[in-house]
Amino acid sequence: MPEFIINTDDNVYVPAEDSYLLADNLEIEHGMSVLEIGTGSGIVAMYASRLTDNITVTDINFDACELARKNFQANNIENIEILFGNLFEPLENRKFDVILFNTPYLPTEEGEVIDDTLNYAFDGGLNGRKVIDLFLNELKSHLNDGGIVQMIQSSLSDNEETLAKLDELGFMAEIKASEHFFFEDITLINAYKV
């Protein structure tokens, strides 16, 4: 895959193994509409821009929106719409063919929360599911029939619960890829709306 110029910012998640696990396994065909929630530096969206022209990204961190804009410009990528806001909030009733999300999946105790916008990138609440469950609850109304969700989470935030919730929502879901790190598996879950 092509390499990109990536600027970083202390207030924005720096692309890491989880970012590339998603970027390397994108299931996007030309002409599909793509939404990435929590774009951060914009790295995943930049890989997606090589596959389709219709991409929208959101982030709750305004610094991330600005950094993504800077990175898209540095790489001459002009086909990505950037929206500031939490999860699906800035999208109203729009639907997409593909939804991507490298979730904030780390279980976080009160004393581990950092007083900084970077906290949004990893803080999954006490059980690691605070944001994942909010995302899953709204997912169906923003995905076209036949669409796919590709989301990254951790074994620490209960993959089985995510698969069960997706099943309840009528998706066909599977763990598509995973990588083992010290004390957890980072997993890519693919879910198809049938």
Main-chain phi, psi angles of 163, to 5 degrees: -60, -40
Exposure string of 151-178, with b = 16+ CB inside 10 Å and e = fewer, is: bbbbbbbbbebbbebbeebebebebebb
Q: pTM (2 decimals)?
A: 0.94
Mean pLDDT of the chain: 92
Sequence ranges of the domains in the chain: 30-193
The string of pLDDT tens digits covering residues 56-81 is 999 999 999 999 999 999 999 999 99
CATH homologous superfamily of 30-193 equals Vaccinia Virus protein VP39 (3.40.50.150)
Cα 139 to Cα 12, 46, 62, 151: the distances in Å are: 24, 22, 22, 11
From the number of C-beta atoms within 10 Å of its C-beta (0-12, 13-18, 19+), residue 183 rates as exposed
The string of pLDDT tens digits covering residues 114-171 is 777 777 676 677 787 989 999 999 999 999 999 999 999 999 999 999 999 999 999 9
